[in-house]
Each structure stands twice: as C-alpha cells, then as structure tokens.
Amino acid sequence: MGDIFGNLWDGAVYALSLWNLLAIVIGYIIGIIAGAIPGVMAVTAMVLILPYTFTLEPLFAISLLMGIYKGGAYAGSITATLFNIPGTPEAAATALDSYPMFKQGMQKRSLEIALWASLFGGTVSNLLLVFTAPPLAEVALLLGPPEIAALILFSLTAVITLLGDSRMDIWKGFISITMGLMLATVGLDNMSASRRYVFGIEDLDNGVPFVLTIIALLALSEVFIQAEKVGGFTLGSAAEAVKKIIPYTWKQRWLDLKLCLKDLIRSSLVGSLLGALPGIGATTAAFVCYGEARRSAKKNARFGNGDPRGIAAPEAGNNAVAASSLIPLITLGIPGSVAAAVMYGAFMIQGMIPGPMLMMEHPEIIYGLFVLLIVTDFMGAFVVALPFISVVQKIFKNLNYSLFFPGVVVCCVVGVYAEEFNVFNLRIFLALGFVGYIMRKMGMSIPPFILAFILGPILERNTRTALLLSNDSPMIFVQSPIALVLLILAVAALGWSLWRKTHGGKSVLDVPEEFKH
Amino acid sequence: MKKLMAVLTCCLALALVAVPALAKDYPAKPITAYIPLSAGGTTDVFVRTIAPYMEKFLGKSLILVNKPGSGGAVAISTLAKAKPDGYTFSWANLPTLVTIPQMRKLTYDPKDLVYIASPMHYDYILYVKKDSPYNSLKELIDFARKNPGKATYGTPGLGTTNHLGVAWLANHEKVKMTPIPFKGNPKSVAAVLGGHVVACNTSTTASVSAFKGGRLKPLVIMSANRIPLTPDTKTLKELGYDFSQFSCLGAVFPKGTPEPIRKKIEDAIKFALSQPDVQKKAKEELYVSIDFLDGKKYRELCDQYWGIWGGILKEVGLKKY
C-alpha cells in the first residue's frame, strides 16, 4: 500500500506539469462539446485527435485524450436535461429524470446533480483503478463466455423498471426489447459471416450502424415530437416552456446529497465493475444503475418524474466506466472498450505497450496517468463544466426552439454521414427516426429498445461461444457457479418486478403521460 | 450509331484525361483505411505505426477504422462496395483474400480487388496458460488424444490461419481439438488467461504484454522462423512437422481503382517501411517481420497460397467453394 502512495507521488511529480494540466482542460473542452452535440461521440473526437498525438509528449497526448474521454462521458447529460436529447447514448438513462426535473423549473439543480454525480462516479472509479486494478482484472478474467452471457441477460432485466406500470405498458416494453434484439441481428453474423435479414441489400451487410440507431431513436424522434408542439408557426422560445426557474440552494444541495449518497456509492461500484469487463460499456452501466436505484427506492419515490436519484445513479454509473475500462488495458495489455483501444493506440504511438510490463518498467508513466485521471475529473468539473453549464443556461434562456431543433437535425445528419460516409445510412437514419416517433406516439419505451440493441450482439456472441466450449450442451450455463447465480438473479428480478408491477395495488412508479418515452 | 460513337469517344477522351488528373491531384482529401481486426492486435498496431509516415508521404491523413468480425471479411466486403476513387482502401489479412472465400459465399470476389502491396508477415505462437499442466506441444496433443474435443483453442475467427494452423496439426495427429473464435487476438489471449480455453494460437504482438508478465507459456512457433520474443521456443518444422503457418498483411483497393493511385499507395507503404524508426519499432516493440512485396508479388503469393491453404481447408472439411 505504501508502495502505491510512493508511486503516486513519483507519478505526480512526473506528470503534473502546467502543460499536462492545460492538455486536460483543452481535452475536456473538446470532449464536452463533442459529447453535448448529438451525433458526435467523444470516442469519435478521440480517434480524430489520435493521429495528431504523434508529435506530442506522451503524457500531454494521454492527458488530452483522457480529458476528451471524461468530458464526453459527462457532457451527454447536458442536452439530455435541457432538451430530452441525450448527447451520448449513456445519457439516455439520465434523461428519464433530468428532463422532467428541468421542466419543473429546476434546471440548475438537475445539471448540477449530473455534474457532481459524474465527478463522484469518476473519482471512485479512479481510486478503484489505482488501488484495486490487479484484483479487479482477475475478476474480469474469470468471467468467460457463459458468465458474460448470463451477466448480459441480468443487465437486460434492468429495463423492466423502465417499462411503465400497466399490463399494456409492460407488453409494449417487451415488444420494444424484442425489436431491439431483432434489429441487432441484421447484417453479417459476427461468428460465421452468414447474411441475416438483409433482404439482398448489401448496404445492410454490416448491420444497422450503432451510433446511427442511437441518434435516430433518441434525438431525431424527439425532434419530431417537439416539432409537433412547435408547429403551427408559433415560434415559441425555450424560456416560455419553463414557467419559472427555481434557484438551487445550498440546503437543497445538502438534502440531495443525503438522499442520493447510497445510490451514488452503489452506482459507482457497479459502474466500475461493469467497466472492467470488456465490451459492456457505459450505456449498459447507466441503465443498470438507474434500474437498481429505482428497484431499491421506497414507495414515495418520484422516479420518471424528476427524482434526483434518477439523475445521480446513471451519471455516477456511466462515468465510473471511464477509468475502470482502462483496467484490463493497464494490468493485462488488453483493451476492453473502444476508448481503451484508442488509448492503446496512443501508448503505441509513443512506443509503449500498455500492460504489466509497462507498469514494472515505467511505473512513473502509469502512476502519472493515474494522477492525471484523478485531476481530470476535478479540473474538468470546476474549471470547464461549471462555467460551461452556466453559459449554456444563459444561451438557453434566449434559445428559439424553431431554430434549435433544425440545428440538432443538421448535427445528427452530419454525425451519421461522417461515421461511414454512406448515403444509404441517412435513409436508415430517417426511417429509424420515424420508427422512434411512432413508438413514442404509441407509448412504447425507447430505452429498452436501445439497451437490447446494444446488448443483443454481445449476448449472442457469448452464448454461442459458450455452447461451442461445451460442445452444444446448455448445461455450461448451470455448471458455472457465477453464471448460475446471475441467471437465478435475472429470473428472480424479472419475476419480482413483474409481480410488483401487476400486484402492487396503487402504482408505485407514477409516470405522467408525457414522460413515458 | 455515329452519335453513339461520338459519345463513346468523348467518354474515352474524358476518361484518359480524368485518370491522370485524378492521380496527379490524388490524394485531395483524407483517405479511409479499414483495419480488418480489432484494436490492439498486431495488424492494428502495425498499421497505426506506419500510418503517420504514409500520411507524410501522401500529404493527407489516413482515417483508420477498425472493422473487426468474421476474420476480417466484414472489412473487405465493406471495401468491395466502396467507390474505386482511391479514397477507401482496406488492410487485408491473408485469410480474407485466400481462405474465407473458399469457405463461404461472400459478397466480394478477392480476385477482383486491386492488390496494393504487402508490408509484412505475421509470426504465430501457440500458448497455454503459465500454470497449465502441458509443458510441450506433445503433452497438449496427448491430452487431446485422450479427451477428444476437450482441448479448446482460441482463435481470432473461423478460417483465420490461426485456426487452420492448429486444425492442420490436429488433423495431422488425428486428434480432435475445438476451435473457439473470438473477436480478435487480444480477446483470445484473455480467454487463455481466464482459463476458458486451454490454448490459443495468436500473433505475437497481442501476447507480448501477457507473456512478458509471466502469464503465458509458449509451446511452439507456428510460423516458419524462430522469433526474438521467445528465442528458445522451437518451430513446428523443428519439431518434425512439414508445415508452417503463413499469413501476411497487405492492402487492397476495390475493383477498378486506377493504377496510378494504387502505385501511389504502394509507394507510400514502401516509404513508410524504409524509415529506420518503423523498422526499429517493428522489431523491438511490435515483434513483426517487415517483408515488402509490391502489388504484383503480393498478388502472386496470394494465388500460390490459395492452393496451399485451400488444400488444408479441404483436409479439415471447411472448403465449400
């Protein structure tokens, strides 16, 4: 333990230069802008920046990328709160409560809760990375294909809490999940490359692109819904939508912290654990944390209607993924997420292979990185994010919806096109936007669709790999104790939620009609 | 008819004028290059190493896009549909051009593609976990003989040479070993570390970190020559097998890409490889063997290995086309 502190001190001495701190701030600004624009992901920004890091100092380059990564992880919540348009998919869960809270005039409160929760989750995850990376990496290694498959199934049950309350709503939710899973199977199958559900259209061979689907369903369909309200040539301004703005007092801050503390801690730990597993990602973590917060809440909770815990839990969870997704990279040399792969590339460009050897040969670099990670969260929050949200709020007061929403559509289209430079994708984008619009109109929930779409391929791949390992015997899912426990938990969670929903008497989760998407 | 002739002549004239003009200005914008395997593998790292020098030569940036899946076929099928204007090319691992087309129906024909050049070939090692009871290839084979199908090995996809190399070995020894495809070499290595598969046949780079960290035990070098990373590990040939696993990395353009453009990228690759920096990095940090083949030689080699790997595919019962 003393060793770690010694190393951290050396790392701090090595890493904390004015230039590196500047890199963090620049990176965080880029990340926050990329993250806040629907259609542009922080990872896209990282990939674009990566080539330019070739001539930079190693830690300057890495600070810059970390700043983008962290800034992007937080920024999705800003547009989620103000417009119900999550800038990143992982902020979709946040929108469920932050948008309703904003509509009640508490925009400062919801933006700040998201920011402090991000800081909290990020910091917990940073500390876990510093102090428990090796054991966490071992845990992650223990989870093989059958366990990952079971874990994904369990994660999918988190959406049950998002389904709404009446039997009708629950059925709609299941249709939504099924549609998401089905859409995920389109294209060349990942294991044997057979073509599935492409109807002879070669453009569909690569499947329906991930980013495109998320933006279409989250952003474009929301714009359609809003366009309805703005319609009739009444150029309503945003400020009119919110009648009065309620200030956020210190007392209220303290009460919110007390209320959310348990969820903050749980979500940070869950997010960190999910982040350490390869390929699961921040969106899943956010939804699982949201689901857990809602499941464990008492009856008087106002989830879906602006409950602070509904903002704190997913934000802490999705930001906790950022640092812990670097755990497999640093301890084993295996990049577990797209962002980690970009970091891998950055290390490579600097002539270093991340992994246990780098830790042994150049501890000052790894510990310097740890120090920078910890600093990034605080500097990002206080130096960049806090001024940024106050500026955003000022702009927002004078914002004209009829100009803003077309702007969103432009950003989305540019983002979708820039992903693969394929015009066909724009057609799918538009079509899915309408699908999302119809789904919302029919009261079908969008988040279950998205979660199923993200998790479907991972579930399929791991299930099939597990069956290969067991020579097609499904017993492999029962023989592994971890998988068995997760499967039992999944069934129990499903059964319990459904029972609570259908037999709970008066509705526990009071969701007003207009927030059902 | 006269009108048609006139139109055709005009088109031809335009084409003749257009091609050099295109080539002279090429590249006028960033070029997208697909990487057929997941980030962190040898291919990915090597490409990211030479890319900056290619960019320097070309004067425009390369947008590197990882398109893993299906042993690389996803990237090439995407490429085959791209415009042959020189702004999209794909790095191609040998299987996507040689073995996969013989195994399943694809949306592209590798013989149609324009072969740019091949900068290097891969080296392969068969590893087990450090605390695994098997200390030699023979012991692993014996285990497989006694427990048919229980000897699982990770590969970065069905039909990759990683898979076929071990498949050849199993077939030659008449034992049953089970290939498990993962999404790229790093995940296959992780599966060995986690004890989910018994062995993995991986390209060198993806295993460097775990090997140097003392978590992997090399059993045999699958490729032709011994490698600096594990100097004491013998090759298949040294163990008496008349076989070695060959695969190289190359670059391809979609059908119909003009020759001057191909040449330009070939030159860019050659330029990048000539950098002392790249050579040093390839040897000391990436553990790959630089071995430049121009477009023509690259194509010949692929044609030659079409037959060699095809024969093994037939032996192991995977050849369908």
Instruction: Encode pLDDT of A422-442 as tens digits.
Output: 778 899 999 999 999 999 888
Q: What is the pLDDT of residues A52-78, one digit of tens each?
A: 676 688 888 888 998 998 898 888 888
Among B51, B190, B212, beta carbon nearest to A334: B190
Phi-psi region of A245 (alpha: psi -120 to 50; beta: other; left: phi over 0): beta
Under the banding of pLDDT at 50, 70 and 90, the label for residue A233 is very low
Beta strands B88-93 and B248-253 are antiparallel
Amino acid residing at A344: Y
Instruction: Decide if A461 and B183 are in contact by the 8 Å CB cutoff.
Output: yes
Q: Quick one: tokens of A8?
A: 């951290």
Q: What is the pLDDT of residues A118-130, one digit of tens each?
A: 999 999 999 998 8
pLDDT mean across residues, chain A: 82
Which residues of chain A does B183 touch, with a Cβ-Cβ cutoff of 8 Å? 190, 461
**Nearest C-alpha of chain A: how many angstroms from B84?**
14
Task: Record the pTM.
Answer: 0.79
Instruction: Decide if A348 and B32 are in contact by the 8 Å CB cutoff.
Output: no
**Nearest C-alpha of chain A: how many angstroms from B108?**
10
Amino acid residing at A342: V
**Nearest C-alpha of chain A: how many angstroms from B225?**
23
Instruction: Decide if A348 and B48 are in contact by the 8 Å CB cutoff.
Output: yes
- How confident is the model over A81-99, as a mean pLDDT? 86
Residue B5 has pLDDT above 70, yes or no: no
- Which one of A55, A205, A359 would you mutate to disrupt binding with B, by most B Cβ within 10 Å of its Cβ? A205
Please indicate whether residue B275 or residue A416 has the higher confidence score (pLDDT). Answer: B275
Residue A186 has pLDDT above 50, yes or no: yes
The domain spans of chain B are 30-122+247-315, 124-221
**Nearest C-alpha of chain A: how many angstroms from B194?**
5
Q: Which of A317, A307, A313, A247 is nearest to A275 (CA)?
A: A317
Residue A237 has pLDDT above 60, yes or no: no
Please indicate whether residue B263 or residue B2 has the higher confidence score (pLDDT). Answer: B263
Under the banding of pLDDT at 50, 70 and 90, the label for residue B106 is confident
The answer for residues whose C-beta is within 8 angstroms of residue B269's C-beta and 6 or more apart is: B50, B54, B116, B117, B119, B251, B292
pLDDT score, position B3:
56
pLDDT score, position A242:
55
pLDDT score, position B270:
95
pLDDT score, position A513:
46
Instruction: Decide if B48 and A145 are in contact by the 8 Å CB cutoff.
Output: no
Per-residue b or e along A462-496, where b marks 16 or more CB atoms closer than 10 Å to that residue's CB: bbbbbbbbbeeeeebbeebebbeebbeebeebeee
Q: What is the DSSP string of A248-282?
A: --HHHHHHHHHHHHHHHHHHHHHHHHHHHSTT-HH
Which residues of chain B does A192 touch, with a Cβ-Cβ cutoff of 8 Å? 70, 104, 158
Under the banding of pLDDT at 50, 70 and 90, the label for residue B221 is very high
Instruction: Decide if B208 and A353 are in contact by the 8 Å CB cutoff.
Output: yes
Q: Which residue of B has its CA nearest to A207?
A: B74
Alpha carbon distance A292, A159 (integer Å)? 10
Q: What is the DSSP string of A29-67?
A: HHHHHHHHSTT--HHHHHHHHGGGGGGS-HHHHHHHHHH
Task: Name the CATH architecture for the domain at B124-221.
Answer: 3-Layer(aba) Sandwich (3.40)
Q: What is the pLDDT of residues A295-333, one digit of tens each?
A: 787 766 778 788 889 899 999 998 998 888 888 888 877
- Which one of B153, B209, B281 would you mutate to disrupt binding with A, by most A Cβ within 10 Å of its Cβ? B209
pLDDT score, position A202:
67
Percent of chain B surpassing pLDDT 70: 90
Which residues of chain B does A144 touch, with a Cβ-Cβ cutoff of 8 Å? 191, 194-196
Residues written for chain A = 517
Residue B19 has pLDDT above 60, yes or no: no
Residue A6 has pLDDT above 80, yes or no: yes
For CA atoms A404, A408, A413, A415, the dihedral sign is positive
Homologous superfamily assigned to B30-122+247-315 = Bordetella uptake gene, domain 1 (3.40.190.150)
- Which one of A337, A357, A459, A464 would you mutate to disrupt binding with B, by most B Cβ within 10 Å of its Cβ? A357
pLDDT score, position B7:
54
Which residues of chain A does B205 touch, with a Cβ-Cβ cutoff of 8 Å? 353
Residue B119 has pLDDT above 90, yes or no: yes
Q: What is the pLDDT of residues A252-272, one digit of tens each?
A: 888 888 888 888 999 999 999
Alpha carbon distance A491, A484 (integer Å)? 11
pLDDT score, position B70:
66
pLDDT mean across residues, chain B: 86
Instruction: Decide if B285 and A349 are in contact by the 8 Å CB cutoff.
Output: no
CB burial class (10 A; 0-12, 13-18, 19+) of residue A336?
buried
Instruction: Decide if A51 and B52 are in contact by the 8 Å CB cutoff.
Output: yes
B38 contact A CB<8A: yes
- How confident is the model over A372-398, as a mean pLDDT? 86
Domains B30-122+247-315 and B124-221 alike in fold: yes
Alpha carbon distance A502, B38 (integer Å)? 45
- How confident is the model over B281-305, as a mean pLDDT? 88
For CA atoms B291, B296, B299, B303, the dihedral sign is negative
| Residue in the block written with tokens 């495109």 | A212
Q: Which of A172, A91, A74 is nearest to A511 (CA)?
A: A172
Under the banding of pLDDT at 50, 70 and 90, the label for residue B97 is very high
Under the banding of pLDDT at 50, 70 and 90, the label for residue B17 is very low
Instruction: Decide if A143 and B158 are in contact by the 8 Å CB cutoff.
Output: no
- How confident is the model over A475-500, as a mean pLDDT? 85
Alpha carbon distance B253, B167 (integer Å)? 31
**Nearest C-alpha of chain A: how many angstroms from B9?**
32
- How confident is the model over B46-71, as a mean pLDDT? 85
B279 contact A CB<8A: no
Among A345, A357, A358, beta carbon nearest to B39: A345
Instruction: Decide if A332 and B193 are in contact by the 8 Å CB cutoff.
Output: yes
Bridge partners for B181 per DSSP: B155
Instruction: Decide if B209 and A332 are in contact by the 8 Å CB cutoff.
Output: yes
Among A328, A332, A465, beta carbon nearest to B180: A465
Alpha carbon distance A487, A152 (integer Å)? 10
Per-residue b or e along A217-234, where b marks 16 or more CB atoms closer than 10 Å to that residue's CB: bbbbbbbbbbeeebeeee
- How confident is the model over A377-396, as a mean pLDDT? 86
Residue A87, classed as helix, strand or coil, is coil
Q: What is the DSSP string of A419-466?
A: HH--HHHHHHHHHHHHHHHHHHHTT--HHHHHHHHHHHHHHHHHHHHH
pLDDT score, position A465:
92
Please indicate whether residue B211 or residue A190 has the higher confidence score (pLDDT). Answer: B211
Amino acid residing at A341: A
Sheet holding B177-181, edge to edge: B177-181, B151-155, B199-203, B124-129, B216-221
Residue A7 has pLDDT above 60, yes or no: yes
Q: Which residue of B has its CA nearest to A206?
A: B74
CB of B184 closer than 8 Å to CB of B41:
yes
CB of B275 closer than 8 Å to CB of B292:
no
- Which one of A44, A143, A191, A343 would you mutate to disrupt binding with B, by most B Cβ within 10 Å of its Cβ? A191
Q: Which residue of A has its CA nearest to B156?
A: A191
Q: What is the pLDDT of residues B298-321, one digit of tens each?
A: 999 899 889 888 988 887 777 877
Instruction: Decide if B70 and A332 are in contact by the 8 Å CB cutoff.
Output: no
Residue B92 has pLDDT above 90, yes or no: yes
Q: What is the pLDDT of residues B163-191, one digit of tens each?
A: 889 998 998 999 999 999 887 788 899 89
Enclosing H/E stretch for A496 = helix A481-503
Residue A506 has pLDDT above 70, yes or no: no
Residue B15 has pLDDT above 60, yes or no: no
